[in-house]
Structure 1
Amino acid sequence: MDRRLFLKGAAVAAPAAAASTLAAPALAQERVEMNIVSTWPRDFPGLGLSAQRLAARIAEISGGEIIVNYFAAGEKVGAFDSFDSVANGDAQAYVGCEYYWTGKHPAFAYFTTVPFGMTASEFNAWINYGGGKELWAKLSADFGLTAMLCGNTGTQSGGWFNKEIETPDDLRGLKMRIPGFGGTVMSKLGASTVSLPGGQIYENLVSGAIDATEWVGPYNDYFMKFFEAARYYYVSGMHEPGASIALGANLPWWEGLSETHRAMISAAAEEENARQHQQAVANNGAYLSRLVTDHGVETRSFNEEVWDAFGEAAMEVLEETRDHSDMAAQITDDFLAKLREYATYLAVSETEFANQRNRVLGLG
């Protein structure tokens, strides 16, 4: 072999080998454990399966560097104990709805949904590009948490009732499962409301402990079998126009992660945020037809008198929330300002188009 060629090759190979040797430790990430507690039972239709899919996706994206242990509601802590479990560091993250934590601070409701609030597309715009993310981070940090979007159900149905709602007076004395500000609105109109975990709704409806319940929409509701206990299904509601799901994390734990691991978790959450909403849109129409055709469900719409009563009560709720604190006022004012801005444009673009499309094609 030509000695000059050998030496030239060795000169090239040596640095390459050294770079390879040095690169491995630099690129390797220390394995971290992530215990996720959920507010829904294991294999729970829709929301629970979405949370499990998110947990699996985090592990997959990380290539096993993030060891994810998923605990459904009741397996580690109760559904509504998830917030405290993560805040105190017993678990690293929760999956749930932020309006479950309004007992901690009422402004958390804005980061799930509020009556007459934003649709899914509007909400995502506010969080990601309208300043909502920064307000959410500020509120969560006061409790040692940080949170991000990981799902959205879209506009939810008005709910399942064992009687028709023809006037606001029909709500008086009604026992209904409805959480968040929607429940506060119903209470103002005379209903008796409770906030039950999803896994306990069916048994309470069947037993008569409650007269009505809201849940999500036809795709999710079908598997809950509410049709076995309630005859009337109101297909549009005021209470959750675009209900967001959150992945909340313990703030010190989150800040201790590498930038790469934070990026992996954020990417998985963003992916599931899109997937869950797309899945709902893809399936709601078909499952509404099945509820009507296969199970004799009678669909209804609230009339304008009822909608107006909802609206008046909702404005009272938002104003009361605004008066709670400076933080609540800041979030309320920003949310409503952005809502007006987004809705004004959508009314002359998407809403006008949808109305005219449905009229021309005979849809809806």
Structure 2
Amino acid sequence: MTASPSHLSRRRLLGAGAAAGAALGAALGAAGLAAPAVRAQVPRAWKLVTSWPAGAPGPGTTAARLAERITRGSGGRLTVEVFGAGELVPAFEVFDAVASGTAELGHTASLFWAGKMAIAPVFTAAPFGLMPEAHNAWIYYGGGQELWDELYGRFGVKPYLAGNSGFQMGGWYRRRIDGLEDVKGLKIRMPGLGGEILRRLGAAPLSLPPGEIFTALQTGVIDAAEFLGPWSDVALGLDRAAPYYYWPGFHEPNGSAEALVNRAALEALPDDLRSLVEIACEAENNRGLAEAEWFNAQALQRLEAGGTELLQFPADLLQAARRESEDVLDRVADGDPLFGRILESWRAAREASIAWGRVSRHALLGAQLAS
């Protein structure tokens, strides 16, 4: 039977396609590229949403550098665009945005998620707890990362340490606090577990996004506010809104920021880009803390030279806060076995850190201050 012209055309087309496919396969083989490797070259674009005003000194600059590290490190295969608080989602909706896939990446702090997971704030800081180096040690070597993964994994989110604002200050106050009685009725911006402690002591704590703190403090909507340390606080203008700056920041002796990654988006990446995301977060965690330590010191010197009144919290307030802190921690761990395991692990890390610090950094600092 003689083939029709249409059959001949189809045969030639199929033959040409097979030949082209074989040629492409040979070319890829010669270049050392298999089909999965070709797929790995497909450009990806991620959105990074933050809880900070865009470019805000401290966490805002950390978020921007994190995006740049990933974009540049990937050679453009994974580009990350940063959206400040309110530009794509509100400051306190970053976790939900990442969990839902609205954004692949978030930069924020775990203390904002107490309403969703009562134990979550300890992954930023807990009152009278771990300081930055000890917190990092707990996450990286003390089992903290595995517990954090388990906690956030319920929502399809993978967390990483990604920046640290260092030891916090106690906050800016429109009036002096000379004793425990002066806290009663105080309207203060203080989220997380520290806010719960002050509530027990008679204050009225509330949580405000960073971008709203200055106006609320300046206009008297609130009587006091804490944010981070001198560098970031001055950038928000808090020194222009209240005259008294209190220390120490017993409520947050550490300022760990977190990068949240949508787990499905992360697992869709090739191995090298998944590693890049992790490495970029770790690099920014180290860089962010060094940056905060340096610029907090510079900003504090300028504040003192400019006449800002630095005051220590009265002893009776600190003692009462310390007494309340352990019960607050016990209560947030109630009712969920995972919460209990997290608190137990955190407390063990704190005990070890205190024992080591007593003969190392704290001992040296005491000697320096006494000389």
Q: Which TM-score applies when normalising by structure 2?
A: 0.89
Match of 1:60, as an amino acid? R
User: What does residue 355 of structure 2 align with?
Assistant: 344
Please tell me whether residue 280 in structure 1 is matched to residue 280 in structure 2.
no
Q: Structure 2: give runs of 5+ residues left out of the alignment.
A: 1-26
| Partner Cα distance (2:200, 2:54) in 1 | 34
Counting matched residue pairs gives 343
User: What does residue 316 of structure 1 align with?
Assistant: 327
Q: Structure 1: give runs of 5+ residues left out of the alignment.
A: 1-16
User: Which residue of the other structure, out of 296, 299, 303, is the alignment partner of 2:314?
Assistant: 303
CA contact (8 A) 2:28 2:34 kept: no
| Partner Cα distance (2:220, 2:276) in 1 | 45
User: What does residue 219 of structure 1 align with?
Assistant: 231
CA contact (8 A) 1:166 1:306 kept: no
Match of 1:21, as an amino acid? A
Q: Which has the larger radius of gyration?
A: 2
CA contact (8 A) 2:187 2:223 kept: yes
Match of 2:137, as an amino acid? A
How do 1:133-152 residues align onto structure 2 when only pairs under 5 Å count?
Answer: 133-152=145-164
Question: 1:160 offset after TM fit, Å?
Answer: 0.5
CA contact (8 A) 2:118 2:333 kept: no
User: What does residue 341 of structure 2 align with?
Assistant: 330
Match of 1:177, as an amino acid? R
SS in 2 for 1:106: coil
Question: 1:284 offset after TM fit, Å?
Answer: 1.6
How do 1:134-283 residues align onto structure 2 when only pairs under 5 Å count?
Answer: 134-283=146-295
What percent of counterpart residues are identical?
Answer: 37
SS in 2 for 1:324: coil
User: What does residue 367 of structure 2 align with?
Assistant: 356
| Partner Cα distance (1:277, 1:88) in 2 | 30
Match of 2:355, as an amino acid? T
Structural RMSD (CA): 1.6
| Partner Cα distance (1:94, 1:227) in 2 | 29
| Partner Cα distance (1:77, 1:225) in 2 | 24
CA contact (8 A) 2:56 2:232 kept: no
Deviations 1:24-68 (A, max 9, x none): 864853322211111111122222122112111110111101021
| Partner Cα distance (1:43, 1:249) in 2 | 20
User: What does residue 289 of structure 1 align with?
Assistant: 301
| Partner Cα distance (1:289, 1:349) in 2 | 26
User: Which residue of the other structure, out of 9, 32, 44, is the alignment partner of 1:22?
Assistant: 32
Further displaced range: 58-67 or 18-27: 18-27
Question: 1:23 offset after TM fit, Å?
Answer: 4.2
CA contact (8 A) 2:188 2:223 kept: yes
SS in 2 for 1:41: coil
User: Which residue of the other structure, out of 71, 79, 82, is the alignment partner of 1:67?
Assistant: 79
SS in 1 for 2:177: coil
| Partner Cα distance (2:31, 2:268) in 1 | 27
SS in 1 for 2:32: helix
CA contact (8 A) 2:162 2:285 kept: yes
Further displaced range: 254-263 or 240-249: 254-263
